Amino acid sequence: MLIKKIKVALGIIAGRVFTGPIEVSLDLTRNCSVGCIMCWYWSPLLKNPPSQEWLNKQIDYNIFLQLVKDFKRLQVKRVILGGQGEPLLYPKIFEVIETLKKNGFEVSLITAGVHLNDYKTKNLFELGVDHIDFSLQTAAPITYLKIHPNQKEGTLERIKSQIQLLSELKKKFNRKTPKIQIINVICNLNYQDTVKIVELAKEVGAESIGIKRIDVIPETRELLLNNSQLDELKDLFKDAKEKAKQFGIETSMDFYQEFILQGLTTGVYTSTYYSQIPCYVGWVTSRILSDGNVVPCCGCYDVILGNINHNSFKEIWYSQRYQNFRRESINLNKSDLMGRGCKCYSCIDFEFNLGIYHKLHPFGT
């Protein structure tokens, strides 16, 4: 990994790529039945939901097998299965995980957990998934139903029992993986659960809590906080951080509090910072959507750099179009990526970009 990171860093400095990305996010399917209220595709608040044709897209399994070969050639280290749908609904999800693990990749799964049962949970454990993000958003059953209005009573408890099963298997077989993270996208329906979710993480045996910003579209703006809710949340953060420390649970709360929290009333989080630092995603990560389109990150779905149904991922990664994106993103303050649909003002990769910036500029230059 060290050599890989050095190659990536040299590429950034030279303004070109000498190796593939460290990680690739692969959206296997757009299928989902969870119906999260903040979802851009499945929220019940949407006035014009995407077409069935759009929602039906998924990665062809044979194309996936070609991708694996490319990932190996490009020395990709980690594959993240998540995205615009629920990866557990991909028909060959277990074959995908097995193939990735057999080929030496670290595998991360992002799931709402709704479709898990004992058989599937044990399968994920046995296949050696390295990291699972459970996107729960709350610790309270009533709030869970507000955020997931189409789910039945008892769903949160059922998911919790599957996470507990995973933790028990880890203990029984003395394994550290999969690392379990509880995801909490904060909105005005769940901000009051910020302390309770730490307790939930402890109860189910999670190692960390990922606090995320809500990325709103016009129909979901009503989920943003007002000023008094934000003040209340700031107080809750103090207790939540203390409790997490006491339980030995890692959280991203310090970062969130410093850089993100204030944006919860507007949905604008990162614009100011990007006038000062570049974006490095073009060297480190990539995203493949269920329709085969390759995009640079989770915020730039309209910046299409190629399609794996027409070209190999390796060709796309080394293409002039990808290189043009890198040139723009490294000079983000001068580029018009936002004008072309990139959500750099609400960038989920900001923490990661800031981390790289500090490594490359240890003396703050």
**Binding-site ranges for ligand SF4 (CB under 6 A):** 32, 34-36, 39, 41-42, 84-86, 112, 135, 274, 279, 281, 296-297, 299-300, 329, 332, 337, 342-344, 347, 349
Tokens for 44? 């019940």
Tokens for 96? 């995908």
Identity of the residue, 99 or 220, whose beta carbon is nearer to ligand SF4 in the bound complex: 220
Identity of the residue, 160 or 343, whose beta carbon is nearer to ligand SF4 in the bound complex: 343
Identity of the residue, 263 or 296, whose beta carbon is nearer to ligand SF4 in the bound complex: 296
Task: In angstroms, give the least distance from the CB of 352 to ligand SF4.
Answer: 8
Identity of the residue, 301 or 318, whose beta carbon is nearer to ligand SF4 in the bound complex: 301
Tokens for 363? 């003396």
Q: Environment class of residue 47 by beta-carbon count within 10 Å: exposed (0-12), middle (13-18) or buried (19+)?
A: exposed
For residue 27, what are the CA distances in angstroms to 8, 37, 81, 206, 275? 24, 20, 6, 24, 30
CB-based contact 270:262 (threshold 8 Å):
no
Q: For 195, phi and psi rounded to 5 degrees?
A: -80, -40
CA–CA dist 89, 85 (Å, integer): 8
Task: In angstroms, give the least distance from the CB of 93 to ligand SF4.
Answer: 14
Identity of the residue, 64 or 274, whose beta carbon is nearer to ligand SF4 in the bound complex: 274
In the bound complex, which residue of the shown chain has the CB atom lying closest to ligand SF4? 299
Task: Return the half-sphere exposure (C-beta side, CA atoms, 13 A cut-off) of residue 58.
Answer: 21
Task: In angstroms, give the least distance from the CB of 227 to ligand SF4.
Answer: 26
